[in-house]
């Protein structure tokens, strides 16, 4: 049967700075000279926000169901590594439920220590504290630029400004970071490696949870050469948080995303058409299913829609790591998971690089998604 070219969905990922093209009424005029939200806040100190930060069709009219940590599955990764065979299969079963039911879960007892996470957050803070001119040096423009800092979501396409500054670095297969602040590079390398180790363990268990051999995803995605993107988001306290948004609803494009924050909440995930607040405890790695795990599993596991709200009390920082396939590996649904009538391949084949580039142009279709805000985004 022919595979429709419309079956790849649009995935507005902030990792590739693809705008969620909501119908925003705000004027696209950017403020003169201000390059980051941080600089804007520090230079005005006002009690209202410029109108180009108004996120007009604001989604807070949608019901907030509650706090996700009351129901999001918790995965004890130490049991996957050193538990009894019974414990391991129990965790694999929990992962299967987490990935198919929620598309996200909380990992505990991992090796990304609280002190390492704190050091990483502090180091990113120092980066954002650099003078604007120094940060400009790292202002990449293309999704394939290995170091990129900026503001908004996809500044070239955004119709409104988002209340968010960012720094993104390729951490694997080649490791790139700015050479300042001092110590940043060492901490970022250690932090990225340890996150990657967690994901390596998870991908084995997730392969098994799909009835595949444990190295299946690793091989299919050529994960040894996988692209790992280290991204820090900086959301200054916002005087009118109900008008602005940090990052609009989107899906991440890798296989899995691991995420931590500085103890200030703002992340929401969409589950069964409702938004849930995600408060991430300090010792937890929050893990999200991303597009390429959805593709590989032929839709059995779903990439999760999420967004970041802002608040008027404190600066929020989050660090998200996208763990993806190798750039030039063709990604497709696992043939083992495709076969009977109801299981035809639901996604077209393409390399991760092609996916990212197509996403930048806004030409990935969202045909098959039922998520409302994403369908509206076309």
Residues near ligand OGA (CB under 6 A): 14-15, 231, 233, 247, 252, 266-267, 306, 308, 318, 320
Q: What is the DSSP letter of 30?
A: P
- Name which of 77 and 322 has its Cβ closer to ligand OGA: 322
Side by side, the strands of the sheet bearing 165-172 are: 74-76, 104-108, 285-289, 256-261, 316-323, 228-235, 165-172, 147-151
The label of the residue with tokens 């403020």 reads 31
What is the spatial distance between Cα 81 and Cα 215, in angstroms, rounded to a whole number? 15
- Name which of 252 and 291 has its Cβ closer to Ni ion: 252
In the shown chain, the binding pattern of residues 110 to 149 toward Ni ion, with x for contact by CB under 5 A and - for none, equals ----------------------------------------
User: With binding defined as CB under 5 A, does residue 252 bind Ni ion?
Assistant: yes
Report the candidate in 240, 237, 234 with the shortest Cα–Cα distance to residue 51.
Answer: 240
- Name which of 204 and 306 has its Cβ closer to ligand OGA: 306
At 320, list the tokens: 């998200």
In the shown chain, the binding pattern of residues 205 to 244 toward Ni ion, with x for contact by CB under 5 A and - for none, equals ----------------------------------------
Least distance to Ni ion, CB of residue 80, Å: 25
Least distance to ligand OGA, CB of residue 168, Å: 9
List the single partner that 233 binds among Ni ion, ligand OGA, none, CB under 5 to 8 Å by kind. ligand OGA
- Name which of 152 and 266 has its Cβ closer to ligand OGA: 266
Least distance to ligand OGA, CB of residue 25, Å: 24
List the single partner that 267 binds among ligand OGA, Ni ion, none, CB under 5 to 8 Å by kind. ligand OGA
Least distance to Ni ion, CB of residue 62, Å: 18
- Name which of 202 and 319 has its Cβ closer to Ni ion: 319
User: From residue 116, how far is each of 85, 278, 287, 300 by CA, in Å?
Assistant: 31, 21, 18, 34
Neighbours of 239 (CB within 10 A): 16
Query: How far from each other are the two terminal CA atoms of the chain, in whole angstroms?
Result: 26
Least distance to ligand OGA, CB of residue 153, Å: 10
- Name which of 167 and 320 has its Cβ closer to ligand OGA: 320
Q: How many residues bind Ni ion (CB under 5 A)?
A: 1
User: E-strand spans in 283-349?
Assistant: 285-289, 306-308, 316-323, 330-331
At 377, list the tokens: 């985004």
DSSP alpha helix (H) spans, 129-226: 132-136, 184-209, 216-220
At 359, list the tokens: 């996403």
- Name which of 165 and 252 has its Cβ closer to Ni ion: 252
Neighbours of 146 (CB within 10 A): 15
Would you tell me which residues interact with Ni ion (CB under 5 A)?
252
């Amino acid at each position: 049967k022919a595979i429709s070219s419309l079956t790849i969905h649009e995935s507005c990922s902030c990792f590739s700075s693809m705008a969620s093209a909501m119908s925003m009424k705000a004027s696209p005029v950017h403020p003169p000279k201000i390059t980051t939200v941080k600089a804007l806040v520090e230079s005005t100190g006002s009690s209202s926000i410029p109108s180009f930060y108004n996120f007009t069709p604001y989604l807070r009219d949608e019901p907030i169901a509650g706090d996700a940590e009351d129901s999001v599955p918790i995965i004890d990764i130490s049991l996957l590594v050193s538990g009894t065979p019974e414990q391991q299969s129990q965790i694999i079963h929990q992962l299967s439920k987490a990935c198919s039911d929620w598309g996200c879960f909380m990992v505990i007892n991992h090796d990304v220590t609280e002190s390492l996470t704190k050091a990483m957050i502090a180091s990113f803070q120092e980066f954002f504290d650099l003078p604007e001119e120094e940060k400009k040096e790292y202002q990449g423009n293309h999704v394939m630029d290995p170091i990129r800092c900026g503001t908004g979501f996809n500044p070239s396409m955004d119709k409104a400004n988002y209340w968010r500054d960012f720094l993104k670095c390729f951490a694997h297969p080649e490791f790139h970071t700015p050479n300042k602040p001092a110590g940043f590079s060492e901490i970022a390398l250690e932090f990225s490696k340890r996150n990657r180790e967690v994901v390596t363990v998870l991908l084995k268990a997730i392969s098994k949870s799909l009835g595949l051999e444990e190295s299946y995803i690793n091989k299919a995605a050529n994960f040894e050469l996988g692209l790992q993107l280290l991204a820090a988001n900086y959301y200054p306290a916002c005087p009118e948080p109900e008008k602005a948004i940090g990052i609009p609803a989107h899906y991440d494009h890798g296989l899995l995303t691991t995420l931590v924050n500085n103890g200030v909440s703002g992340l929401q995930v969409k589950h069964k058409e409702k938004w849930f607040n995600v408060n991430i405890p300090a010792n937890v790695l929050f893990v999200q299913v991303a597009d390429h795990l959805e593709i590989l599993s032929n839709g059995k596991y779903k990439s999760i829609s999420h967004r970041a709200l802002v608040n008027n009390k404190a600066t929020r920082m989050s660090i998200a790591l996208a763990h993806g396939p190798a750039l030039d590996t063709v990604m497709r649904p696992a043939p083992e998971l495709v076969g009977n009538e109801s299981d035809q391949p639901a996604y077209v084949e393409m390399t991760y690089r092609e996916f990212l580039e197509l996403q930048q142009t806004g030409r990935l279709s969202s045909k098959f998604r039922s998520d409302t805000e994403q369908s509206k985004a076309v």
